[in-house]
Structure 1
Amino acid sequence: MNTTNHDQQIQVLIDQAPQYGANPADVQAIAPGLKAIASRLKHPQYFILQTLEQNWLMTTLANRTQSNLTKNAVYAFPTFEDASAHYQGSNDQQMVALPIPAIHILFQMLAMKPVDSIVFFETPGDLQSGTEISRQNLFDTIRFHVQKNRSSQPNLPSDIA
């Protein structure tokens, strides 16, 4: 995905930050980390299954070798059809599949404590393999970029006015 699209998505997040209780300067500070992760994804937006109350559908995944180890994942689908096909396989409550910009999905994940990772399915029709982004990986990438940007800032004298 091109960086112009990332920049546009970041700008929308910055503009809407107060609506989410976030500081626009904080969103600007974490933007390089969000963009670094989003650059690994193939699509500018993905479809997320949500309840009518706008809660994202989480799936609990068990470790293949240690069934007592579980994690909560959200699936991000490349097309509406893929999201709908996945939903048809479950008999849960009413769901809708809504398109959400990739950067916004990552930003939302920061606040979604029960979500351990998001699996981004990249190829339409292929729900067997995807790109998994863990919360920890997202936090680590953001932390790296924030520290890198701080260290590249010139040290201004404290008495500058």
Structure 2
Amino acid sequence: MHSSYLRLPADVPSGGRLVVLQLRVRRFFCPESSCARRTFTEQLPGLTRRHSSWTERLRSTLASVGLALAGRAGARLARAFGVPVSRSAVLRLLDALPEPEVPALRVVGVDEYATRKGRVYGTVLVDVETRAGPRPPRSPTRGDPASPSVSSGGRPRDPSSHARTSTGSCS
């Protein structure tokens, strides 16, 4: 053993009172001379993480608040229950979460929008069956050989073009 030091990770308040954890953790020498890390510190699985000043329980609580309210509102709510945190920290927690599994698409609708009138345009893919959107750009599209079961679910905006497409004329 090389030495020990005191860690004070923040935890979720209990009953409206601040919880203070004092952990004395040990630091060890690496016996191998070729090792890049000369010393290493013991970790407490399920309680702490390397270089983190929060417990895993507080981290998951803040991530849940962030999923519900996002940055600024999430930071305000966390401050209300006794955890001072910045909106950037809440958003960093959200970025660190794994991407949810997206089921395979069967019917896709394409929606175009303008964020600023006449200036900035965007296109999103929407799952027509569940009305979920917007989809990330890597979603399968019609004609993609990786997903032959995707079909277009859009309908024309102009009623006269609908009549032309249903009769088969190309004029």
TM-score, normalisation: structure 2: 0.20
Q: Answer with 1 or 2: which has the greater Rg.
A: 2
TM-score, normalisation: structure 1: 0.21
Question: Higher relative contact order by CA 8 Å / sep ≥ 6: 1 or 2?
Answer: 1
